[in-house]
Structure 1
Amino acid sequence: MSNNDKQAGLEHKARKRFGQNFLVDDGIIRRIVKSIRPKAEDNLVEIGPGKGAITSQLLAACPTLNVVELDRDLIPILLAQFIADYPELTINQADALKFDFGQLLQDKEGNAKGPLRIVGNLPYNISTPLIFHLLSYAGNVKDMHFMLQKEVVDRMAAQPNEKAYGRLGIMVQYYCKVESLFPVPPECFQPRPKVDSAIVRLVPYDAPPYPAKDIKLLERLVNTAFQQRRKTLRNALKQLIPVEAIEDLDIDTSKRPENLSLKNFVDLSNKLIDIIE
């Protein structure tokens, strides 16, 4: 328990069902905040502030910080630590998977605010669906910095022909430039997780470098292709389009999904528009 928790007279043990692993290494915290470079004018949002380890340094730079925290028992701890010194802090007790981040694009008077800068030590058990939820707001996001399981970061940054390459990396890279920043070992957390972590930076493109005519079709194509990633494209796509149509696509259907680049998948999905109703 931190000194701030003691002063508040509150204790909180990490809850397994929320995937809580609290960051306690001051050096790593400083390095994360230095990578984010928060500014007073930022529309900054922290997902999963926990007991406020990163929150305190974010607030020092950006007093209008919004946080989204699911665990209602952490709310009194955050209020006791910060609200007296930072009255403009907004604490949203909500499930980030269901939270409407679009509402943070306006202030309480309805005036437009700048694009979102999103930060979070994301629970490993919801990280992938949460990333996909946040990508739906990509057009209103300046950047995102997340602590994730290192395996997930590797998948996000993976390139064709790499073992980690798949659906997650392709779809994240469709929307964002992906940069794996640095690893975070288990001993930096309390309790210690059983896996290594890493910090990733996602910067949404103003416009996708390879625009898909139908993003839902691209998602469907990539998902279908990687359901059985060891199959050739000819076999993997059978459940999506007729065999004779596959042969007319003017692609090497003997390749496996992991051999195709993001551009290849976008080009393929654009060709499928006239085939798939």
Structure 2
Amino acid sequence: MEKLSSPKITKEIVNKYGFKFSKSLGQNFLIDENIIYKIIEGSQITKEDIIVEVGPGIGTLTQYLADKAEKVLAIEIDKSLIPILEETLKDYENVEVINSDVLDLDLKGLIENKFPDRKVKVVANLPYYVTTPIIMKFLEEEVPVKDIVVMVQKEVADRLKAKPKTKDYGSLSVAVQYYCEPEIITRVPKSVFIPNPNVESTVIRLKVLENPKVNVKDKKVFLNVVRASFAKRRKTLLNSLSFSDFELSKDEIKKILKASNIDSNRRGESLTIQEFAILSNNISSIL
């Protein structure tokens, strides 16, 4: 069938099946081939690649992914889209659709069983209401992924790529940059979706590092330190960490900060990922 990037074809499919867009599932279908080509180019897909797509919708991006990749595993939560995907992807033998909530899946086990000793690429127009949990699931659960190329809300992309001492820099910036090297591929206007979303979008590539950017004694402690440091942005590190789950006294935290060569009056937004690693390692040493 014709490519679904055509607004006319998309509308015909939606009307044929009487499909109703769900705001709660963040459903906005892409109808611009130029944006799709930028996603494909930014993903650097080859015929040796296995692609995991989260939220294929009616299969618009999926068709282009299937043309380029060895295999596409598309995970769709909305069961009403499954018969549509069966039609729109019927000519693609290298596509498998799973009707499930990606957050409920054992992704690591699923991929290791289906594709032993292989790493996958994640390429998706993510539902904006669960962007962060999905990205962190792939990273924290050590799913065998080499690249994550996703369309997300512009503000989220800015946070993913943010540097210290900027307004967008926060716990998500540090957590993602611990695992990945972020790169903006393209900005995306509201007008290229049906229906138009209320926000601007960005396609971002997260190049997953072979080894995390910094060495930490305990990854869980590291991430907890990061989250606690940004929990209340106006508080100093001394106060933020005093109210964390570590159950350390202010005097203990003062000593740890001094040993880490970090002024206790600094705020989390001023720390580099390397400083967070030193701080968390010193906390790990006494827990």
With the shorter chain as reference, the TM-score category is over 0.9
Asked whether 1:260 is paired with 2:271, we answer: yes
1:121-151, CA deviations, whole angstroms, 9 ceiling, x for partnerless residues? 1111111111111112446111010000010
Partner of 1:153: 157
Match of 1:78 in 2: 85
Q: C-alpha displacement at 1:201, in angstroms?
A: 0.4
Is the 8 Å Cα contact of residues 49 and 68 (structure 1) preserved in structure 2? yes
Secondary structure of the equivalent of 2:181?
strand
User: Are the counterparts in 2 of residues 167 and 223 from structure 1 also a CA contact under 8 Å?
Assistant: yes
Amino acid at match of 1:260: L
Contact 2:161 2:182 in 1 (8 A): yes
Aligned residue among 253, 269, 276 for 2:280: 269
The Cα offsets for residues 170-203 of structure 1, whole Å up to 9 and x where unpaired, read as 0000011111221101111111111110011011
Say whether 1:22 aligns with 2:29.
yes
Describe the shift of the 1:5–1:64 C-alpha distance in structure 2 as closer, same or farther (beyond 3 A). Answer: farther
Query: Within the alignment, does 1:90 sit opposite 2:96 as a pair?
Result: yes
Greater displacement, 183-192 / 95-104: 95-104
**Per-residue deviation at 1:2?**
4.7
**Contact preservation (8 Å) 1:63, 1:89:** no
Q: Contact 2:177 / 2:213 at 8 angstroms: preserved in 1?
A: no
How far residue 10 of structure 1 moved from its aligned partner, in angstroms, is 2.3
Partner of 2:3 in structure 1? none
Structure 1: give runs of 5+ residues left out of the alignment: none
1:61 matched to 2:68? The reply is yes
Match of 1:218 in 2: 222
Q: Which residue of 2 aligns with 1:123?
A: 127
Change (3 A) 1:166 1:215: same
TM-score, structure 1 as length reference: 0.93
CA distance in 2, matches of 1:171, 1:193: 27
Distance 1:16-1:190 versus aligned 2 partners, 3 A rule:
same
The Cα of 1:5 is off from its aligned counterpart by 7.1
Q: CA RMSD in A?
A: 1.8
User: What 5-or-longer segments of structure 2 have no aligned partner?
Assistant: 1-6
The match for 1:206 among 204, 210, 227 is: 210
| Higher share in helix | 2
Aligned length: 272
Q: 2:4 is matched with which residue?
A: none
Match of 2:166 in 1: 162
Whole-Å separation in 2 of the counterparts to 1:196 and 1:36 = 21
CA contact (8 A) 2:39 2:185 kept: no
- What do residues 230-265 of structure 1 show as CA deviations (whole Å, max 9, x unaligned)? 111111111232111122122211111100011111
Q: What TM-score, normalized to structure 2? A: 0.90
Indicate conservation of the 8 Å contact 1:49/1:67, yes or no.
yes
Match of 1:41 among 21, 27, 48: 48
Write out per-residue CA displacement over residues 48-84 of structure 1, whole angstroms, 9 at most, x where no aligned residue.
111111111111112521100001111111111112x
Q: After superposition, where does 1:228-243 map in structure 2 within 5 Å?
A: 228-240=232-244, 241-243=248-250
Secondary structure in 2 matching 1:33: helix
Q: Percent identity?
A: 36
